[in-house]
Amino acid sequence: MAELLDDGLRRGYAVPSFCIWNAETADTVLRVAQKHRAPVLLMTGPGELLLSYGALADTARALAARYDVPAALLLDHGNSMEAVEACLAAGFTSVMLDYSTKPFDENVAALQQVVALARPRGVTVEGEIGAVGRVDEVTGEGKGHTALTDPDEARAYVQATSVDCLAISFGNLHGNYTAPPKFDFGLLAKLRDAAGVPLVLHGGSGTPPDDLRRAIALGIAKVNIASELNRAFREVLVKRWNAGEKLWVPRALHEAMEAFAAIAEKWIHLTGAAGKA
């Protein structure tokens, strides 16, 4: 993953990172990437995993071998060292351990361990400082934690951990935005200068195109897309179910994957990744 993000920084685009959870979703992302000659990331985490980490890694490798576009497989928002170790054993090419809501020292110590395990294998490590919250926290529908990233902490974190890329919080949120996000671009510029590594935008879904382009120009090299993919997939299935017709599941899933593909195609273009493979 680090090689793809570095190329994005050099050439002024961001690598889209798409949430996948099975063979169909992984194959759809790769198929769309091939069509548009785009590097892509396949990401999955504890909230999406339907197969074992080993089975998903085997599936992703087999599918990727059928295409000739660069791709990486990422553990997204890993929540334990055990999950990281399982993904490393399975052959994931990048891992994230999200300890962003824990005390700074605990976050640093954990990511130091991850880097020590991953670096000899050539595996990219993503960390997070500050905490990217959720849209429903802001609207009062949930309880969680959101904290903007402090540039001095970002600098100290990268220096202490040697992570390859850094997820940051500058007004971005996970989930489906009910209003345009309010990005702090001044903070983003400071974070770019302080961190000195590719920066990651979590909560990419729903980001206005102009804001996205500005964020990429200020150091965002990876954009995570999950909520839009899930919503498009779900809407097709709900529509078919509510129509009262006899639901032939394979056909409904095929239609849902076409909706999924349209979102992937959209974001490959929005991030500027089309034609970069």
Distances (CA, A) of 126 to 53, 93, 105: 18, 11, 17
pLDDT at res. 141 = 39
pTM for this model (two decimals):
0.92
Q: Is 38 exposed, middle or buried (0-12, 13-18, 19+ CB in 10 A)?
A: buried
pLDDT in tens, 15-64: 999 999 999 999 999 999 999 999 999 999 988 887 789 999 999 999 99
Where do we find the tokens 């409904």?
Answer: 252
pLDDT at res. 139 = 43
Q: Which residue is catalytic, options 7, 27, 76, 164?
A: 76
Query: How many angstroms separate the CA atoms of 59 and 156, rounded?
Result: 38
Q: What residue spans define the domains of the chain?
A: 2-270
Helix extents (H) in 73-219: 81-90, 104-118, 135-138, 151-161, 185-195, 209-217
Q: Say whether 136 is catalytic.
A: no
CATH 1.10.10.10 fits 2-270, yes or no: no
pLDDT in tens, 113-159: 999 999 999 999 999 998 776 655 554 333 445 688 999 999 999 99
User: 124-128 and 15-19 as β-strands: parallel, antiparallel, unpaired?
Assistant: unpaired
